[in-house]
Amino acid sequence: MKIDLIVGARPNYMKAAPVYRELQKYPDEFRCRLVHTGQHYDEKMSAIFFRELELPEPDIYLGVGSGLHGEQTGRIMIAYEQAILADQPDLVLVAGDVNSTVACSLVAAKLHIKVGHIEGGLRSRDWSMPEEINRIVTDNIADYLFTTCRDADANLLAEGIAKEKIFFVGNTMIDSLHYYMPKIDGSTIHTQLAVAPGNYILITLHRPSNVDQDEIFRGLFNALEKIQERLPIVFPMHPRTRKMLKEFGMGRYLELPGLKITEPLGYHDFMKLQKQAVLVLTDSGGLQEESTVLGVPCLTLRKNTERPITIWEGTNELVGPDPDLIFSRTMAILDGNVKQGRIPEFWDGHAAERLVAVLRQWNSR
């Protein structure tokens, strides 16, 4: 079976790497071509992840770069269509919910090539999120939907997706967490940043709904200003966030003594910081899942989440962008009022094995 495994943006790499590694165990059954769209393309957002996740150089690099959603999606479709026509695969495997995911899925579907969606069925019910549109479109044209949790199965069935297309395999991103833990534990990032393990808060902030709106953005940083007086905050800052701080004239926040701002970090260093944080503040999807597995309290700075299992079963709490709630709940956690969680079913480091077992069964027909 000829498979194109698509990666394009930072969240894809951790989900795709275990699948790529598992496919390589069966060279007589699969020929896997790694296709990088170039949606994320610089050293800190892309190249370092390829090295640390032990992915080879892409077989195909589309090099589309950044741009508005429609522009970027269109460029990916144009470039990938040419690649797929030159050497047509039997299956296109996409992961997550970025523009590369939906763009490559659409190209494959229109050429009558099977599509497999890693992390299918997640729903935020928030149509203002571009990612929600990408998820729904991809799921509705996919032939194989590999889900991370039972509620994702239920979402797909409620939308009329045929049961025989849905495969609950678990969370491949957590496979990466398990597999690379020795290297994560070997990171010296705490020494580099001069922070003590277990004595800081970790934050990530990048979603347009938080950083592109002046009033919300200021409110979030006002909360951080108060929090950093109690405990240091480590802040690997997304390029978009840094850009908006300057545009809104909020540069003074960069000088807060308890805010340790860094460039985006590699996977091993970032996971070491997350593992030994007292608390994670984030508007990311993946951190909600990783913090649940690591047993670290997480406050999600969004009004909704496509990963509610991290709230039902994990350590995550939804607080939205409300500065008062963020501050009060942070203080409560620092004072010991910590939500206990458990690791969801099949988040055990073997999701890629179950996924590839499905493909082997299909391939043997």
The single residue of 36, 112, 117, 206 carrying the catalytic annotation is: 206
Backbone φ, ψ for residue 348 (5° rounding): -125, 5
SS3 state at 102: helix
Closest C-alpha among 171, 174, 172, 147 to residue 161: 147
Closest C-alpha among 179, 182, 187, 117 to residue 152: 117
Backbone φ, ψ for residue 116 (5° rounding): -115, 130
CB 147, CB 121: distance < 8 Å: yes
Q: Is 206 a catalytic residue?
A: yes
Segment holding 1, helix H or strand E? none
Sheet order of strands, 259-262 included: 259-262, 233-236, 201-204, 279-282, 298-300, 316-318
Strand partners of residue 2: 31
Tokens of 109: 């579907």
Q: Is 230 exposed, middle or buried (0-12, 13-18, 19+ CB in 10 A)?
A: middle
Separation of alpha carbons 314 and 173, rounded Å: 16
Strand partners of residue 114: 91
How would DSSP label each residue in 281-349?
EES-SHHHHHHHHHT--EEE-SS--S-THHHHTSSEEE-TT-HHHHHHHHHHHHTT------PPTT-SS
Neighbours of 183 (CB within 10 A): 14
Strand extents, DSSP E, the chain: 2-7, 31-36, 60-61, 91-95, 114-120, 144-147, 166-168, 201-204, 233-236, 259-262, 279-282, 298-300, 316-318
CB 156, CB 147: distance < 8 Å: yes
Q: Which residues are catalytic?
A: 206
